[in-house]
Structure 1
Amino acid sequence: MAPMPPMPSTTLPKDESEWRFHDTGYPSEWVEMYRSSGFHPINLGDTFKNGQYRVIRKLGYGSFSTVWLARDAVLVTIVRPLALRSPELILGGKIGSSIDIWSFGCLIFELLTGVSLFSVVVYFEDDRESTDDEHILQMNDILEPLPDVWLQKTWTRARKYFGPERERLGPIADGQNEPYVDDPLELRLKEYKPKDIDEEAGVITSLIRSILRYEPSQRSTAEELLKHSWFHE
């Protein structure tokens, strides 16, 4: 476990050479300028909220890190950002290492584009069902149609959003409102990707699709991903 980072001085360095990190160009806060509620260095094992959340996985280094997996010491559960949740975390399926593979696929898109693949927002803390439903609907639009077993059994609220012929209903169950449909993965990547990966776009979408499979056993394994050509070019 990494040691806790030293607390910064109360005064800012007088000379540029005294700064401990180089500018990465990302929206981060210098270590020497650390103040509560700002961006700051994260080490594996760090805790938040009086020790309740312990960092298990993070993304980034130096002055900029994003926590994407933590353990809740009070509820004894795994905590991760809503947009990185795999289907089995939402629908109550069997949990395994493949949930990390799913999160990795989402992060590939986010790192390349600067936006989340799935836009998941909690509007009301006491209405997580709506948040979960919106997440599943985005999977249907962005990735591929949901499995029949989800609509018929696993996802108990599916009939609120899909008719008997799998037609999409509006936000209200009677379907009177026009439903919003998200663009598929390929169009989302085309819209948000930087210009310097134009030639790689097809390979990238194929890679992400090999990861974001609804059935955990069908997702690429970590070993398979390490051998993928895109990581060696």
Structure 2
Amino acid sequence: MVFELLSCNLYEFLAINEFQGFELDLVRRFAIQILQALLYLSECNIIHCDLKPENILLKDITRSGIKIIDFGSSCFINSKLYTYIQSRFYRAPEILLGIPYSTQIDMWSFGCIVAELFLGNSLFQSKSEKELLFLQVSILGKPSNQFLDCCPKKHKFFNANYELLSITKDSDLIIAIKPLKEQLQSVSPIFYDFVNKCLQWDPNIRMKAAEALMHPWIIEGLPQDIKKQHMQQMKLYLQQKNNDQQGQGIQLK
């Protein structure tokens, strides 16, 4: 098989920058392209299942164009192959807690990636699933009891009183943890809101790709001539999706 020649991946690109993170304008350019790809995948009913910086390649080291690669773990929504998926740092709560998953697990990974591109390091660097969930709770806050009641594997991480089980004795890890709001809001409240909406525990509340492309943080960074066209296209897309859903509802009746 012959493929086009691409450049380094985004993890390597961060390493070249000594893991200092990138300016928000560059992060936004990457984010828009990833969201457009995720929107297309969702239209095709495909879940990538392993979205991470290593699987996003620059087309050219001197430009911001990117492509998503490695669909070896991907599946169709109605034909899921595995229950144990996603690289650990980017693994969504659905996979940890045993909830049926959808394209929304890719949006969780996307939120992790966008934060990492800005901060320079992964939000959830962990050595095990228990440590991963400990970090997710510490950085994002505990999920609601109602959400946990829907999780078949909640007993693995929480006791009968919905309290997080003792997970780690790594004092350095505990000291280093800062809530997401503390890490991002002082730099850009609108960027914090964007990432926070991508990292909602409940996949039904978590922002979808189409919604993310209409978020103020995305819109505010677009050139004026492109902004109008972008908003018109997204409004037409959302209107069409709404019409399709209403039509399906009528057919069901």
Q: Under TM normalisation by the shorter chain, which class is it? A: 0.5 to 0.7
- The aligned residue for residue 43 of structure 1 is none
Tell me by how many angstroms 1:183 deviates: 1.4
- 1:79-110 deviation line (CA, Å, top 9, x unaligned): 43211110011122111011111111111101
Aligned residues of 1:68 and 1:80 also touching (Cα < 8 A): no
TM-score (structure 1 length as normaliser): 0.56
Larger helix fraction of residues? 2
TM-score (structure 2 length as normaliser): 0.52
- The aligned residue for residue 148 of structure 1 is 145
Tell me by how many angstroms 1:219 deviates: 0.8
Aligned residues of 2:130 and 2:167 also touching (Cα < 8 A): no
Change in Cα spacing, 1:66 to 1:27, as seen in structure 2 (3 Å) is farther
- The aligned residue for residue 40 of structure 1 is none
Aligned residues of 1:170 and 1:179 also touching (Cα < 8 A): no
Aligned residues of 1:142 and 1:184 also touching (Cα < 8 A): yes
Change in Cα spacing, 1:68 to 1:202, as seen in structure 2 (3 Å) is farther
Q: How does 1:169-180 map to 2 (within 5 A)?
A: 169=166, 171=168, 180=174
Q: Which runs of 5+ in 1 are unaligned?
A: 7-19, 29-53, 122-130, 191-196
1:112 to 105, 118, 121: 118
Query: Which shows bigger deviation, 205-214 or 177-186?
Result: 177-186
SS at match of 1:232: helix
Change in Cα spacing, 1:68 to 1:214, as seen in structure 2 (3 Å) is farther
Tell me by how many angstroms 1:60 deviates: 3.0
1:92 to 93, 98, 112: 98
**1:183 matches 2:178:** yes
Aligned residues of 2:14 and 2:120 also touching (Cα < 8 A): no
Greater RCO structure (CA 8 Å; 6+ sep): 2
SS at match of 2:174: coil
1:231 to 218, 225, 228: 218
Change in Cα spacing, 1:118 to 1:165, as seen in structure 2 (3 Å) is closer
Q: Using the alignment, how far apart are the partners of 2:154 and 2:50 within structure 1? A: 30
Structure index of larger Rg: 1
- 1:201-230 deviation line (CA, Å, top 9, x unaligned): 211111111111111100111111111111
Change in Cα spacing, 1:72 to 1:206, as seen in structure 2 (3 Å) is closer
- 1:136-181 deviation line (CA, Å, top 9, x unaligned): 111111001133253896322335xx69583774747xxxx99936
- 1:41-96 deviation line (CA, Å, top 9, x unaligned): xxxxxxxxxxxxx99863231356897864249xx548432111100111221110
Q: How does 1:174-213 map to 2 (within 5 A)?
A: 180=174, 182-189=177-184, 198=187, 201-213=188-200
Q: Which amino acid aligns with 1:4?
A: F
> Aligned residues, how many?
169
